[in-house]
């Protein structure tokens, strides 16, 4: 019991303690954050400024860009300030707030990627019913459902941590208040922590991935039946950007979250967390704009008009 403590603050992990590297790290992460903001804001602006892009696919894409901005804004500014001030401390209230917002936006990313896969499934497999199935009312409802489920997930994590009477130590082996790390250092029964971790992982990870797999199974089955090679290429090209974004996000995110109880290397965990909280939101605008002619042409028109 002497090792258990009530905490008012936590200590976050840093990428390097070498003082000579702090300025370089500050410049790198600040540049990445600005690229995330600029890229995703341009994508949102392109979708909203061109009436040809006012379709369900681009509506969910702009929503995903907004969520990516919120996700990175939850973790990266605190990390940048910490590097600049040489401080690893985050308050208890600040840590729980960061964790709640992080879980909220990560879960929204999960669900939006699933909804985007469903949108492609309807467009390719049932094109005649697309306008009715993916109506404006249905799209708004799907977005509200994603927000509601994400709030439930976030509050489940928050309630679990709040009910913990104390913590084993104040060190968090990540650059932000990772929910899996907080569960590991809480005084709750390890079996209960593991149950909560895997239950939430199944709900917010397994079911969305299952929905994505089912959608693309149906898509590939329908596309392979198309006799024209040009038609098959066009159908596959509309899904390639989304598939790449899914692989980047889920490959790193679920590997870190579900694998934290099996084995955990702080350095590998930080790199994996950096991938799905910073690198993936930074690459998403490039993935969708470079692989999509409509967005590319709209962005070029906006940039040339601004210049």
Containing H/E element for 90? strand 89-91
Q: Which domain holds residue 264?
A: 9-165+172-306
Backbone phi and psi for residue 134, each to the nearest 5 degrees, phi listed first:
-105, 55
216 belongs to a structural domain:
yes
> What six digits make up the tokens of 2?
């002497």
Q: What CATH code is carried by the domain that includes residue 157?
A: 1.20.1070.10
Highest mean pLDDT among 116-130, 231-245, 279-293: 116-130
Single pTM value for the model: 0.86
Query: What Rg do the C-alpha atoms of the chain give, in angstroms?
Result: 21
2 belongs to a structural domain:
no
1 belongs to a structural domain:
no
Q: Smallest Cα–Cα separation from 134: which of 109, 117, 111?
A: 117
84 belongs to a structural domain:
yes
How would residue 291 be classed by pLDDT, with cut points 50, 70 and 90?
low
DSSP letter for 52, please. Answer: G
> What six digits make up the tokens of 260?
């934290």
Report pLDDT digits (tens) over 143-197: 999 999 899 888 888 888 887 767 777 888 888 988 878 887 877 666 766 777 7
> What six digits make up the tokens of 58?
């681009």
Question: Is pLDDT of 263 > 60?
Answer: no
97 belongs to a structural domain:
yes
Residue 142 neighbours by CB under 8 Å, 6+ apart: 60, 115
Mean pLDDT to the nearest integer, 213-236: 79
Write down the pLDDT at residue 4. 45
**What total of structural domains would you count in the chain?**
1
């Amino acid at each position: 019991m002497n090792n258990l403590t009530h905490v008012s603050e936590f200590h976050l992990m840093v990428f390097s303690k070498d003082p000579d590297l702090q300025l370089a790290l500050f410049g790198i992460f600040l540049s990445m954050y600005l690229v995330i903001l600029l890229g995703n804001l341009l994508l949102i602006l392109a979708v909203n400024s061109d009436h040809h892009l006012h379709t369900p696919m681009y509506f969910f894409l702009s929503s995903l860009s907004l969520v990516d901005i919120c996700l990175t804004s939850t973790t990266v500014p605190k990390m940048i300030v910490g590097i600049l001030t040489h401080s690893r401390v985050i308050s208890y209230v600040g840590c729980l707030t960061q964790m709640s917002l992080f879980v909220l936006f990560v879960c929204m990313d999960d669900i939006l990627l699933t909804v985007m896969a469903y949108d492609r499934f309807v467009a390719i497999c049932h094109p005649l019913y697309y306008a009715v199935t993916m109506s404006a009312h249905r799209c708004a409802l799907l977005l509200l459902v994603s927000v509601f489920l994400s709030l439930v997930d976030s509050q489940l994590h928050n309630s679990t941590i709040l009910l913990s009477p104390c913590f084993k130590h104040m060190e968090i082996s990540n650059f932000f208040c990772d929910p899996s790390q907080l569960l590991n250092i809480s005084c709750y029964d390890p079996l209960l922590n593991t149950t909560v971790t895997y239950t939430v992982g199944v709900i917010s990870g397994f079911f969305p991935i299952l929905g994505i797999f089912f959608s693309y199974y149906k898509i590939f089955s329908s596309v392979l039946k198309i006799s024209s090679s040009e038609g098959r290429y066009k159908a596959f090209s509309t899904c390639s950007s989304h598939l790449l974004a899914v692989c980047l996000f889920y490959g790193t995110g679920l590997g870190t979250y579900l694998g934290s109880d099996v084995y955990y290397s702080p350095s590998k965990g930080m790199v994996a967390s950096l991938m799905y909280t910073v690198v993936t939101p930074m690459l998403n605008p490039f993935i969708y704009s470079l692989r999509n002619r409509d967005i590319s042409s709209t962005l070029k028109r906006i940039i040339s008009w601004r210049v």
